[in-house]
Amino acid sequence: MHEFEVWAPNAKRISVKVGDAVHAMSGPDVRGNWKVSIADAEYGMDYAFLLDDDMTPYPDPRSAWQPHGVHSASRLYDQHAFAWSDERWQGPPLTGAVIYELHIGTFTSEGTFDAAIGRLDYLFDLGITHIEIMPVAAFPGEHGWGYDGVSLFAVRDSYGGPDGLKRLVDACHARGLAVLLDVVYNHFGPVGNYTGKFGPYITDRHHTPWGSAMNFEAAGSDEVRRYFCDNALMWMRDYHMDGLRLDAVHEFVDRSAMHFMEQLSAEVEVMSARLGRRLVLIAESDLNDPRVVTPREAGGYGMDAQWNDDFHHALFALLHAEKGSGYYDDFGSFADLAKALTKMFVYDGVYSGYRKHSHGRRVEGLSAHHFVGFIQNHDQVGNRATGDRLGHIVRLARAKVAVGIVLMAPVIPMLFQGEEFAASTPFQYFADHDDPAMAKAVSEGRKREFAAFGWKAEEIPDPEKRETFERSKLDWSEIHEGEHGEMLEWVRSLIHLRRGSVALNDGDPLHVTVEFDEKQRWLTMDRGSVRIVCNLGDQMVELENLDGLSIRLASQQGIALTARGIRLPPDSLAVLSSEDL
């Protein structure tokens, strides 16, 4: 016996086809839901819906399994059949997290959940506490980043399907690693989205860079909000996710009395209490609005943390000048980085030349542990013309300084796959749209976008070609070789120092003091008993060390204590401390 249910408020008739049998559904109820119970329906059987006079069978918008792809029938899947071994799992707190972002398709040569399990011991030894998996909801084509998902309740079959994801999460928990999943609630992919056949999931009243916005506030929005909240709760309840990262929440258009993020936060809190384990929500937002991470009780949206692009931009602009390159024109001084380290947002109500208006709002009374800092992520690497990583752009010594600042900063640090060993492979934008017109539009659009920055068309990797995807896979054979091994040991040492230090786990921005010299290009950051000093200039500098702190880590040879201070060669960073570590 299985009960089928679907929301389709505008349909006059709906049937569900299970195998070769077609069954009429009853409805709609007052909210537009249709139902039918079928005695001989069993897990593993394929099914699809027939709407009105349209004889095309459509997949279930809430399908848990699409083994034949997003255009074909759904398959009944038993969420309770998997034998979990993590009953007593309690994940590490987000406040002490070191996050590692990865893409299942390129993290290993096989590109599967099971293959990723083979690298978990490596991540644990590195000192990672949370892995963040880029979207795995089903999307069309052979490869892609996952942000064009169309069947949001189904796990991509080529990665290993729903059981494969559960095996990965279970294995992570067995090794002490928490798991965060990237989800996309701001748009559906342009190909293979059939939700519009069923109901008003999107609205033309508002638009995003990807088309019409999600319907969070108009007629039918209760059920649309229910769809996304239920999706979030499913990942945490049925797949044992420890949290979610919400893509581009600034594209949510919601003027309701209770914002969608507030509703989601409240429901996740209830789920956390029910499951007896901590669940977290991390938002990607370019609004620089602290309300996103302000608790609901204080009038905020209740997200636990948010990505902080200002931190990335301020640091990157010091490492590599890219004037005339959009938002980087707003950054470039040590004062910007100092502000990002102590105030979180550089643009906190001040005028942005790039945006042509005042941007952001000041952060007050919030821990730095509400903000995720990074120098690389999938966007900041993959959305470059050729997917070049920081190690391709600046020399190793400067890249070591960058990751040192990220891992010693008061924010929650995040690494992007391969960053820890200065991977030689790029991470490029790749997609496989099975609609030829869409594929052509994406390829040509990519070339036009970067032609404005002086790139020749032949220099831009074609995102629709499989070699672009294959080129982006990590090369694990290089991790202990030369500069790769040097970077890996540096990152491992930084992470273990951070995790073992009281001062470096203090998220109070008031306990951070930053000094700098724009001309000589040095910066010091004091965090209690720990001092981080770096020199991004082209001359040796000597900085005071009147407290007599000891050097705990040094990014290169030539860093040395002197009678009154510490000598730093160009492109170097040192961590000094009086802590008993």
| Three-state secondary structure readout of 243-300 | EEEECCHHHCCCCCCCCHHHHHHHHHHHHHHHHCCCCEEEEECCCCCHHHHCCHHHCC
* Averaged pLDDT for residues 494-516: 97
State phi, psi for 153 to the nearest 5 degrees: -95, -10
Distance CA 280, CA 496 (A): 24
Q: Determine contact, residues 143/155, Cβ cutoff 8 Å.
A: no
Residue tagged 């209490």 (tokens): 273
Cis peptide before 28 (omega within 30 of 0): yes
pLDDT of 451 strictly over 70: no
What residues are designated binding site for substrate?
245-250, 309-313, 378-383
Q: What is the pLDDT of residue 475?
A: 98
Work out the number of other CB atoms within 10 angstroms of the CB of residue 154.
26
pLDDT of residue 439: 80
- The string over 527-559, giving b where at least 16 C-beta atoms fall within 10 Å of a residue's C-beta and e elsewhere, is bbbbbbbbbbbeeebebebeeebeebbbbbeeb
Chain-centre distance of CA 147, in angstroms?
Answer: 11
The 3-state secondary structure of 385-432 reads CCCCCHHHHCCHHHHHHHHHHHHHCCCEEEEECCHHHCCCCCCCCCCC
Decide if 247 is catalytic: yes
Domains of the chain plus CATH, in order, are 2-58 (2.60.40.10), 512-577 (2.60.40)
* 92 DSSP assignment: P
**Which pLDDT does position 393 carry in this prediction?**
95
* For range 363-384, the mean pLDDT: 96
d(CA 174, CA 132): 17
Any catalytic annotation for residue 284? yes
Per-residue exposure over 404-416, b if at least 16 CB sit within 10 Å of its own CB, e if not: bbbbbbbbbbbbb
| List of long-range contacts for 452-456, beta carbons under 8 Å, 24+ apart | 453/324, 453/325, 453/385, 455/385
pLDDT for position 235: 98
Question: 581 pLDDT band (50/70/90 cuts)?
Answer: low
> What are 144-174's pLDDT values in tens digits?
999 999 999 999 999 999 999 999 999 999 9
pLDDT for residue 452? 58
Three-state SS at 37: strand
Percent of the chain with pLDDT over 90: 88
pLDDT at 328 over 80: yes
Binding-site residue set: 245-250, 309-313, 378-383
Residue 575 phi, psi (nearest 5): -115, 125
* pLDDT grade for 323, boundaries at 50, 70 and 90: low
- Annotated catalytic residue within 60, 132, 247, 251: 247
Residue type, 298: A
Catalytic residue of the set 101, 132, 284, 571: 284
